[in-house]
A = this chain, B = another copy of it.
Amino acid sequence: MATRERRSQRRTEALSRERIVEAAIELLDAEGEGGLTFRALTQRLATGPGAIYWHVANKGELLDAATDAVIAAALAGEPAGPAGSPQDAIRAVAFGLFDAIDDHPWLATQLATQLSRGPGGPVAPRIFESIGRQVRALGVPEDNWFTATSALMHYILGAAGQNAANARGVESDVDRAEFLGAVAKAWEELDPDDYPFTRAVAEQLREHDDREQFLAGIDLVLAGIATLRLPGR
């Protein structure tokens, strides 16, 4: 609750783009997408809106910078060192993104927004590169690099984003079970004529383990990619 920590303590460090982005991330984490306003930001940074606009063009740019900072940190784990198999490296990248979206649920929407604006921004190449290197290491023929990397990336971001919903505002395992139980119940109460499949799958939703399920999807896509490999390799 304590909505206003560090409210009017005098600012010691000078304002900077990094400091502003950091404060924006804190606000987004604490209060969700709606929590990032210039007024909350000026209060937390003990400054005025003009000062922020000196370092950042507008709110959209700030949101993009916050997204990029979190994604860059999430992908900074593996320093290109040849550790295990490419498959394991892909799983590591996937769980890095999974955890980032779990910790910062606002990323789900933000990533979709940014990617649907085109691969122009810095985020798309970052994710694409991390996954693509391992796709190449897998021995996938070059013609299929784009397809294989895209399939992995979209599954990872989509599944991680949907998963974040299960953890949102959930404090304990009991809360989680309660939440999933409620959704499963809603699915079971759908019209039997219109939703036979969804009803049949409701029980799996109730009992599933998030990370295990996520991993199963990764391995499914990896199995598809394996069929692309040239016989020679």
Q: Spell out A's residues near B (CB within 8 Å).
A: 105, 108-109, 111-113, 115-120, 125, 128-129, 132-133, 135-136, 142-151, 153-155, 157-159, 161-162, 164-166, 168, 179, 183, 186-187, 190, 194-198, 200-201, 204-205, 208, 213, 216-217, 220-228
Contacts and interface: CB of A to CB of B under 8 A. Distances in A.
Contacts of A116: 105, 108-109, 161-162, 164-165
How many protomers of this protein does the assembly include? 2
A116 to B, nearest CB: 4
Given A109-B109, A221-B151, A194 B129 contact: yes
A66 to B, nearest CB: 16
Contacts of A120: 183, 186
A106 to B, nearest CB: 9
Given A111-B112, A128-B198, A129-B197, 19 more contacts: A108-B116, A109-B112, A115-B162, A116-B161, A118-B179, A125-B190, A128-B197, A129-B195, A145-B197, A145-B200, A147-B216, A147-B220, A149-B201, A151-B155, A153-B158, A154-B158, A223-B224, A223-B227, A224-B227
